[in-house]
């Protein structure tokens, strides 16, 4: 087992989470409640966010032991161990195992690599056949607000449709073009992404794709729905 490493993607995730948390500070109520996180990775992105937002507390989970070890070192080095905690284990067994979630907001750059099976470079990054299994599971977990990375090649329209069925709207998002990293470039994965896009369930170039970090919300105090704009932003045409 290894630790997820993709500097640009993690930076995009951290920056976007920071922007969305600050913009929707009152409604998300994170200064009171804190937030939970699925998938810590090496923790650098969110450790910097925690360092920059002194009232933020994050309870994070990762199934990869090397990631948790690396994360704890990085969190300690940034001096935020009292407000950014990491637990080894499946988020769905840990964070909301007691029934209704204790906090209203979950953040995640979840595993989203689409592949026919889990036998890929880092199996912990497998997101199911269309890549969006864990996002869908998160949306069904009862959180009022889900701040999550949505990649263009992992059936984003299916994700947005399921979110709508569950009463979520897309409040806002930040989108960025990314080059394929080692996980998307694996030949088996690359071929599978091509097939998904050819089948109309995603968009990607030969070496690039889009990732949006979106706030899905059920909160009536957050107005509007940018679902259409989100899908347009992900439609990379090459």
Ligand X SMILES: C[S@@+](CC[C@H](N)C(=O)[O-])C[C@H]1O[C@@H](n2cnc3c(N)ncnc32)[C@H](O)[C@@H]1O
Size of the site for ligand X (CB under 6 A): 21
Instruction: Give Cα 29 distance to the centre of its chain.
Output: 20
Q: What is the DSSP letter of 140?
A: T
The verdict on 28 binding ligand X (CB under 6 A) reads no
Alpha carbons 94 and 203: distance in angstroms, whole number: 33
The verdict on 74 binding ligand X (CB under 6 A) reads no
The verdict on 90 binding ligand X (CB under 6 A) reads yes
H or E stretch covering 148: strand 145-151
CB 116 to ligand X: min, Å: 18
The verdict on 67 binding ligand X (CB under 6 A) reads yes
Q: Which of the ranges 107-115, 184-192, 200-208, 212-220 carries the binding residues for ligand X, by CB under 6 A? A: 107-115
- C-beta of residue 194 within 8 angstroms of C-beta of residue 187: no
The verdict on 10 binding ligand X (CB under 6 A) reads yes
The verdict on 4 binding ligand X (CB under 6 A) reads yes
Cα–Cα distance list, 237 to 112, 153, 199, 209 (Å) = 21, 12, 15, 10
Q: Which of the ranges 34-42, 48-56, 208-216, 227-235 carries the binding residues for ligand X, by CB under 6 A? A: 34-42
Q: Tell me which residues in 37-66 interact with ligand X (CB under 6 A).
A: 38-41, 45, 61-64
Alpha carbons 13 and 51: distance in angstroms, whole number: 15
Q: What is the DSSP letter of 120?
A: S
The residues of the shown chain that bind ligand X, judged by CB under 6 A, are 4, 10, 13, 38-41, 45, 61-64, 67, 90-92, 109-111, 124-125
């Amino acid at each position: 087992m290894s630790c997820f490493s993709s500097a640009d993607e993690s930076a995009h995730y951290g920056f976007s989470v920071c922007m969305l948390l600050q913009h929707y500070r009152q409604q998300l109520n994170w200064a009171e409640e804190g937030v939970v996180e699925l998938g810590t990775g090496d923790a650098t992105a969110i450790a910097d966010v925690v360092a920059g937002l002194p009232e933020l507390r994050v309870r994070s989970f990762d199934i990869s032991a090397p990631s948790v070890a690396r994360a704890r070192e990085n969190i300690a080095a940034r001096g935020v161990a009292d407000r950014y905690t990491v637990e080894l284990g499946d988020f769905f067994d840990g964070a909301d195992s007691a029934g209704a979630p204790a906090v209203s907001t979950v953040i995640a750059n979840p595993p989203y690599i689409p592949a026919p099976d889990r036998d890929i470079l880092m199996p912990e990054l497998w997101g199911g056949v269309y890549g969006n299994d864990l996002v869908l599971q998160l949306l069904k977990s009862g959180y009022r607000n889900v701040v999550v990375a949505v990649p263009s090649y992992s059936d984003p329209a299916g994700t947005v449709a399921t979110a709508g069925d569950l009463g979520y709207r897309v409040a806002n998002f930040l989108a960025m073009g990314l080059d394929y990293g080692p996980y998307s470039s694996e030949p088996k994965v690359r071929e599978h992404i091509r097939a998904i896009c050819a089948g109309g369930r995603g968009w990607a170039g030969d070496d690039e794709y889009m990732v949006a970090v979106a706030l899905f919300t059920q909160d009536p105090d957050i107005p509007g729905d940018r679902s259409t704009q989100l899908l347009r932003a992900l439609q990379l045409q090459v």
